[in-house]
């Protein structure tokens, strides 16, 4: 199949707004959770968000947070895809314990499946460019992404070109990391072979919602600790007045969806934080998958274009 390559662009230069491309959400859900139906099926249910227009687009594999549904990120995925990216968000499990090792294994299986299966699920004349593949994760999904990017135990047939942690968390507290532990508390110790990294943190993530619940992104195992262990090039943003789940959809349904409004300290509204996370992700991906760093540089130098107040911005380059 022949397709023209469309460079990800927007009708405006504002990565914090919805981009040029009309997007399509594609839900691939095997009948039995955690079971592969046949040889052509993905290893787990998927939510794919893709541009609907002809082209060849970079791919982002996005891992959900602990006990969350991939559907809770629909609006964020659509924002990213509208700027010319194919986003694949697997449902890694229905239920899970403390150990994230199985999630690393599943993510490896999904990554290895992409080259043979993803193209068949996309809109007509849309093709994935798997030489430009990024790995991202939120919360525990961020932990899994960092662990997989460094491990030698699970090898993928495709190479990741960029790594993103959206408020990543490595456990309950320093000294109470969940297995497998990712943080070593040694500065710049992550062995990522020069892979570019984006770390996004939340100012309210380390604040308890109330005395009965722990903080959702406790100090000692959160974004700051992940950033401290990254090497060049790394880009670090902390949203001041927003919480650990404020990048989710406005309406998250069901018991788990309602819990996302109750368990963590939240900001006033999810929409600005979601636009910020989507915009920074797009700017980072354009820089390291597309070779255009203008928007990424602008997020540091022109704070007026950012839809939220930033607590901290650092570029380790």
Question: What are the residue numbers of the active site?
Answer: 139, 167, 244
Contact 83, 10 (CB under 8 A): yes
DSSP 257: H
The number of C-alpha atoms within 13 Å of 116 and in the hemisphere containing its C-beta is 10
Using CA atoms in the order 144, 147, 150, 155, what is the torsion angle rounded to 10 degrees?
-60
Close Cβ partners of 211 (under 8 Å, ≥ 6 residues apart)? none
Burial string for 230-241 (b: 16+ CB within 10 Å, else e) reads: bbebbbbbbbeb
Contact 90, 46 (CB under 8 A): yes
With CA atoms as reference, report the closest residue to 243 among 210, 220, 209, 283: 209
Q: Give the Cα separation of 130 and 109 in Å (integer).
A: 15
Contact 129, 84 (CB under 8 A): no
Q: Give the Cα separation of 170 and 177 in Å (integer).
A: 6
Max distance between CA atoms of the chain, in angstroms, equals 59
Helix extents (H) in 48-100: 74-81
């Amino acid at each position: 199949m022949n397709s023209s390559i469309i460079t990800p662009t927007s009708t405006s230069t504002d990565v914090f707004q919805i981009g040029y491309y009309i997007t399509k959400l594609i839900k691939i859900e095997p009948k039995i959770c955690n079971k592969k139906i046949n040889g052509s099926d993905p290893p787990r249910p998927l939510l794919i968000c893709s541009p609907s227009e002809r082209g060849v687009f970079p791919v982002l594999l996005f891992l959900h947070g602990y006990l969350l549904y991939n559907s809770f990120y629909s609006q964020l995925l659509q924002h990213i895809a509208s700027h010319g990216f194919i986003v694949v968000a697997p449902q890694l499990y229905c239920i899970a314990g403390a150990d994230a090792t199985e999630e690393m294994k599943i993510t490896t299986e999904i990554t290895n499946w992409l080259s043979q299966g993803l193209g068949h699920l996309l809109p007509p004349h849309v093709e994935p460019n798997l030489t430009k593949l990024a790995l991202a994760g939120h919360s525990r999904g961020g932990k899994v992404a960092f662990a997989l990017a460094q491990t030698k135990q699970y090898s993928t047939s495709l190479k990741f070109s960029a790594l993103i942690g959206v408020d990543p968390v490595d456990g309950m507290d320093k000294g109470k990391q969940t297995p497998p532990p990712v943080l070593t508390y040694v500065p710049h110790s992550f062995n990522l072979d020069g892979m570019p990294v984006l770390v996004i943190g939340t100012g309210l993530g380390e604040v308890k919602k109330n005395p009965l619940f722990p903080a959702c992104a406790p100090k000692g195992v959160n974004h700051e600790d992940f950033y401290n262990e990254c090497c060049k090039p790394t880009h670090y943003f902390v949203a001041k007045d927003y919480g650990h789940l404020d990048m989710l959809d406005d309406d998250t349904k069901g018991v788990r969806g309602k819990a996302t409004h109750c368990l963590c300290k939240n900001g006033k509204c999810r929409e600005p934080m979601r636009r910020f996370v989507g915009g920074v992700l797009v700017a980072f991906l354009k820089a390291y998958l597309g070779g255009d760093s203008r928007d990424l540089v602008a997020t540091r130098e022109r704070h007026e274009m950012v839809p939220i107040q930033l607590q901290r911005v650092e570029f380790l380059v």
